[in-house]
Amino acid sequence: MKFVVRFNILLMVFNAVATTNNKNIEHSNQYPDIISTPNLQLFLNTLRSTQSHEFCPFNMFEYYKKPSKTLSTHRSYHNQTEIYTSIKTDIIESKNVFPKSLVGSSNNPALKLLLRKYQNHCDTIVITISQHAHLDKLAHAILSIGRTNVDQYIFVSTKTKLVQDLSKKSLPPKRLKYVLGVILSSKQTTQDVTYFHSSVTKNRVSLNGINLKITSVHIPPLLNMKDNQLIGGMMYKLYAGASKNFNFTYDVYKFMEGSGRLLTNGTWVGLVGELLYHRFDLSAAIRVTPARYGLIDAANFLWNEDDLIFITSLPQRRIPWAAIFQPFTLSLWLVILVALGAMTLSLFFAMIITTLLNTRHTPYPTIIADVMCIINENYFEYAYTSLITTVGICLDQGVQIQKGTKILVMIWLLSILVIGTGYKDKLFAALTSPESEDVPRTVEELHARTDYRVIFHYWKSSHFNQFKTSERQIHKDLVKRFILEPEIAKCVLMAVFAPKTVCFGTTSVIKLTLASNTTLVSAFEAAVFSGSVFLMDPMYISVGLQRRSIYLEDFSKIVSMFRDGGFMEYWGQQEFMTYKAKGKRWVNSDPTGYVFQKLKQLITDYTVITKPFQISNFFVIFCIYFLGFL
């Protein structure tokens, strides 16, 4: 009987030990970032020594419930019952590490940590938790201490369940990047700690199979959405490649409120709002603007081919109706007319003097009477001959040189030879290669051209908000002239085919729309592009993340890899050529359509070198003819 009892006791002990070991194994699997140690100071010093140059300085905090009858000099950070006290030290002492309070201190340690002038790359924030602390309030308050995307958080308590519940239940998911729970227990030996987290000491991307919720909008060529699915675009290829190489999965959800805008009630909608209110982990693409700084984070610079520009129709190259007058300026024409009149009078009087010298036999006192007599007898003949001679030489016609006028005719002939050669050269150039009309190519030129109609492609983008909030008077004046058009194809076609019309939009969207709707000949560009509307624009396109996101560092590395490898430019060119091929097939599918006919005429005007003259080119000539006939 005694043997049986002893055997049962041994069996119970064995089962207890086995159960304890199984629980420890299960605990280790379920809470892999929780360890036990009897000596916190030894553990922290070990942690520091193993991290060497990548060590993050310690910041000590204690979280406990303030007794209702105890006065304190500390201000409450979130409410009237929870108190933060801290002491910062780089050397972990053996005692008095966590004082109950800092008497006489009125500084908020969390705020002091955030606003420190010279901030470390990272901090190790050690928070001891009292036995009666409110975990939900602590979890909410933790997000206000330190930088959740780079700082290391260590939660210390003597209660195992307290640390477990905080790490696995109370803390909001995907908000703290580096978390470690420490259970103070005198029954445990200190576990070896070689590093805090693999991604802290190793410069590599580690996403560990996480599933990310990504919000997106349809913005070709970056993002092509169809039936709430991301099916193509430059960012689609980036996420597809990154997920295979960096071990994560993702689900994309289409959003209809644009990239982000601030409502009058102070709330944000669009992609910015989804990140700001922590409804999504990432934005498939976001434009970094000054208004969004501090609200969300963006990964490293990825792409900047999305400036706001405008396009207008190609400048007309038509021969004006007054083309025969264009070679000379008005002042030169007046000088030529004066010279023509002067030479005509000179020839007239030269013929009179010659006649007078050949017929004179009377004394000098009668010379005036003889001149008047010759003028009365030969006025019409001499005037007609003088005018025909000067004009005939101007028109390259043969003329009969009268006696006594040879020197004058030679002078006039030499003058007309020089003037006429220059005139014919300029006239030939004006008729064969007419000058193009002036079209606005900068926002300043467009502002001065009030005869232009201004259409803005409006889709709740950051560019429109930037225009509205701009302090430049030019931008304010242009906003008043805006005609908002949600359909980019309509905006672009009106700018291409309608006279004196511009279309505002982002560079990539306008280029793709032109490729899709105005490609008849691949090498022909159907519009004039302006420069960037906003000078020294600091904005760029990248992956959008929540503020202090734990994935910021990883995705900054990812986008830098794809950017520096030239993938964005290569994918962008692929998208452009794909749209251009589709557009060419679409335009050629309807040879009788409006777009095809307009493009054909436009290409003819700009590619055919020799074109027939029109009646308008000789309008002045016909007017002179009819005036002479009348």
Instruction: Report strand pairing: 282-287 vs 248-254.
Output: unpaired
603 shares a domain with 466: yes
519 shares a domain with 594: yes
Residue 21 placed within a domain:
yes
pLDDT band at 199 (very low <50, low <70, confident <90, very high): very low
Residue 576 placed within a domain:
no
Highest mean pLDDT among 222-236, 280-294, 496-510 belongs to: 496-510
- Domain boundary (389, 406, 432) is at 432
545 shares a domain with 532: no
- Residue 440 has a pLDDT of 93
Q: What is the mean pLDDT of residues 369-396?
A: 79
497 shares a domain with 404: no
63 shares a domain with 164: yes
Question: Structural domain of residue 236, as residue ranges?
Answer: 204-304+539-568
209 shares a domain with 297: yes
280 shares a domain with 161: no
Closest by CA position to 215, among listed 142, 271, 269, 261 = 271
Tokens describing residue 149: 């995307």
Residue that is written with structure tokens 């069996």 in the block: 11
Instruction: Report strand pairing: 282-287 vs 296-298.
Output: unpaired
Q: What is the mean pLDDT of residues 435-450?
A: 90
Dist. CA 261–CA 258, nearest whole Å = 8
Dist. CA 544–CA 296, nearest whole Å = 7
Tokens describing residue 522: 């691949």
pLDDT band at 92 (very low <50, low <70, confident <90, very high): very low
**CB-based burial of residue 180 (10 Å sphere; 0-12 exposed, 13-18 middle, 19+ buried)?**
buried
Tokens describing residue 244: 């295979």
- Residue 10 has a pLDDT of 37
548 shares a domain with 527: no
E strands of 142-209, at which residues? Answer: 152-157, 178-184
451 shares a domain with 596: yes
Dist. CA 235–CA 217, nearest whole Å = 11
pLDDT band at 457 (very low <50, low <70, confident <90, very high): very high
- Residue-level length of the chain: 630
Tokens describing residue 17: 């030990």
- Residue 613 has a pLDDT of 64
Q: What element of type H or E holds 169?
A: none
Helices 234-246 and 567-588: angle between axes, nearest 10 degrees? 140
Which residues are CB-neighbours of 175 under 8 A, at least 6 positions away? 143, 148, 278, 548, 550
Residue 11 placed within a domain:
yes
Other Cβ atoms within 10 Å of 406 Cβ, number? 11
61 shares a domain with 137: yes
- Domain boundary (372, 399, 432) is at 432
107 shares a domain with 15: no
Cβ atoms 527, 313 nearer than 8 A: yes
Which pLDDT tens digit goes with each residue over 277-300? 999 999 999 888 777 888 999 998
Residue 512 placed within a domain:
yes
- Residue 64 has a pLDDT of 62
Which residues are CB-neighbours of 180 under 8 A, at least 6 positions away? 33, 34, 35, 152, 153, 154, 155, 196, 197
Instruction: Report strand pairing: 541-546 vs 527-529.
Output: unpaired
Residue 575 placed within a domain:
no
Residue 580 placed within a domain:
no
- The SS3 call for residue 70 is coil
Residue 315 placed within a domain:
no
The model carries a pTM of: 0.61
602 shares a domain with 456: yes
- Domain boundary (404, 432, 460) is at 432
Indicate the number of domains in the chain: 5
Amino acid (one-letter) located at 142: I
Residue 272 placed within a domain:
yes
